Homo-oligomer: A and B are copies of this chain.
Amino acid sequence: MKNKTVSSIGEFGLIEIIKHKFAKLNYNKNVVAGIGDDCFCFKAGKNTICITKDMLIESVHFKKDWITAKDLGQKAIEVNVSDIAAMGNVAPAYAFIGLGIPADTPKKFITDLANGFKAACNKYKMTVAGGDTVKADKITISVTVVGLTKNKIVKRSEAKQGDLIGVTNTFGDAGAGIALLYKHGIKYKYSQEERSLIAKQNTPNARLNEAHKIAKYLTSLTDASDGLYISIGLLTKNSNIGADIYTDRVPLSEDIKKVFREANRCLNFALFGGEDYELVFTVPKSKAKIVQKLVPQVTYIGEINSSKKVRYFHNGKEQKIKYLGFKHF
């Protein structure tokens, strides 16, 4: 009898096991968002404390040749701040950095990495609260960011029928950037547009200011770390509701259109590429205009329906969309 392994049950199977074990374990009235949201959030007096944690492992999440140590340090902070932004008007306050480092790592790599952490923490005026340094076979970066707010947080679970679905900026560049690196490596002579796609992969910017401006109008919010398709799936599933998405409205950059040309290829990167770290949210129709005025880079790409299904339309015609994303295991 063959024993089941993680690779046979898959990443989602694994997350289900963990989720099931810990579902609401010792939850109390102070917990305001938990497993299944971008941050874990609890009340302490008048403050809500939001905590997020992300692990980046060499060869799994990055290749040392494809990103500078400084960019890597900055990115590790940005992706966590993006999770804080995904809770709404929350201020990132403290960062903890856990490092697993192979013994043959050059000292310069460590100082560059630390400079990256520092630059990003300065950008957000965050306190670096230390962490742990251990030996490892692969560079392992485990960042925890703590955010604070006295405002109501915006969860993934309160999208309402009739709400519009909005996104910030464009989608697909980061996924296209990593695809280029997989195809040609780092030493290839890339065009300016291609370099710009790679930069989107390596130097993401959390949409914190945007989240702060519009949070109070939103009914649900997440960040698109695993691609638009997954984000929309999370908002609708957690809100127990469906959506109609108009894929022809998904915003694409001039760069990706120049490099990949065919609309379909660009759209695949937007839906499944991941790592765009843009905001994906729902807003009552009555508030859609003010949100777009506050953040002009907002595009509405669909609306919440009552079907409990997510339907995709392209130029008015329903499309069957199959998940093509990255599989961890």
Contact = CB atoms under 8 A, between A and B. Distances in A.
A136 B138 contact: yes
A132 B54 contact: yes
Contacts of A135: 11, 57, 60, 328-329
A319 interface: no
A107 B142 contact: no
Contacts of A54: 98, 132
> How many copies of this kind of chain does the complex include?
2
A108 B3 CA distance: 8
A129 B5 contact: no
A114 B57 contact: no
B6 A102 contact: yes
A182 B59 CA distance: 30
A9 interface: yes
A254 to B, nearest CB: 33
A111 to B, nearest CB: 6
Chain A interface, >50% SS class: mixed
A14 interface: yes
Interface residues of A, number: 82
Contacts of A104: 5-7
A220 to B, nearest CB: 18
Interface in A1-57: 3-9, 11, 14-15, 17-19, 21-22, 25-28, 31, 34-36, 40, 42, 44-47, 49, 51, 53-55, 57
A106 B3 contact: yes
Contact of A329 (B46, B94, B103): B103
Contacts of A34: 127, 129-130
A81 to B, nearest CB: 14
16 contacts: A4-B106, A6-B103, A17-B110, A17-B111, A18-B114, A18-B133, A22-B130, A25-B121, A26-B127, A40-B130, A44-B47, A44-B49, A44-B148, A55-B132, A101-B329, A138-B138
Interface of A: 3-9, 11, 14-15, 17-19, 21-22, 25-28, 31, 34-36, 40, 42, 44-47, 49, 51, 53-55, 57, 59-61, 93-94, 96-108, 110-111, 114-115, 117-118, 121-122, 125-138, 140, 142, 144, 146, 148, 328-329
